[in-house]
Amino acid sequence: MPQIRTFLAAVFMGFAAPACAEQIQVADSPVVLDLPDGFTAARGGLENKRLNAQVRIFTDQNFSFWEQFFRVSARAYRKGSLNRPDPHLYFYYFWPDTKDAEFNLVFNQAGVTAKVLFEVDTGSILKNAISFDAIERSLASARVMPPAAPAKP
């Protein structure tokens, strides 16, 4: 009987977990990440209308800037950790009585400091349209793609 319950739980989790799309590179940035289905290029980043979510990438500041930013910000960010082997910063803002939740990852790779901002309507989380786990898996998958070698003439 325990095996049947384990099987049914695995099946249910498979249906409840949002499917992840292929790797998506954010336009005009070197960052690639895996996102739940439904994200498309829009307004300088990626957007998912069903979730009322957007992803933006910033590469214009260094790591120490972001460390300081999260230390002194007036926003009540919470520090978290992601399943990543590299040094990184992960801060999120989620309060059930606010409109938007914000998840921030800062990391260095290939000489680039990247900040990935994942914003989502709080209602999408509260209604289980997307989970914290799905958001954190997406952020943990972020990486910098080295520029392609120039084509030889």
Whether 125 maps to a domain, the answer reads yes
Whether 127 maps to a domain, the answer reads yes
- 46: domain CATH number? 3.40.1000
Pick out the chain residues at pLDDT < 50: 1-19
Q: Are 81 and 90 in contact, with CB atoms under 8 Å apart?
A: yes
| Total number of domains constituting the chain | 1
Q: Are 35 and 103 in contact, with CB atoms under 8 Å apart?
A: no
What pLDDT, on the 0 to 100 scale, is given for residue 21?
Answer: 54
Whether 137 maps to a domain, the answer reads yes
Whether 7 maps to a domain, the answer reads no
DSSP string over 24-47 = EEPTTSSEEEEEETT-EEETTEEE
Whether 46 maps to a domain, the answer reads yes
Whether 140 maps to a domain, the answer reads yes
What pLDDT, on the 0 to 100 scale, is given for residue 148?
Answer: 63
What pLDDT, on the 0 to 100 scale, is given for residue 98?
Answer: 87
pLDDT digits (tens, 9 = 90+) for 20-58: 556 888 888 999 999 999 999 987 899 999 999 999 999
**pTM greater than 0.85:** no
For residue 28, what are the CA distances in angstroms to 48, 53, 56, 145?
A: 18, 19, 11, 12
- Quote the domain boundaries for residue 38: 20-144
What pLDDT, on the 0 to 100 scale, is given for residue 149?
Answer: 57
- The label of the residue with tokens 């943990």 reads 140
Whether 12 maps to a domain, the answer reads no
Whether 153 maps to a domain, the answer reads no
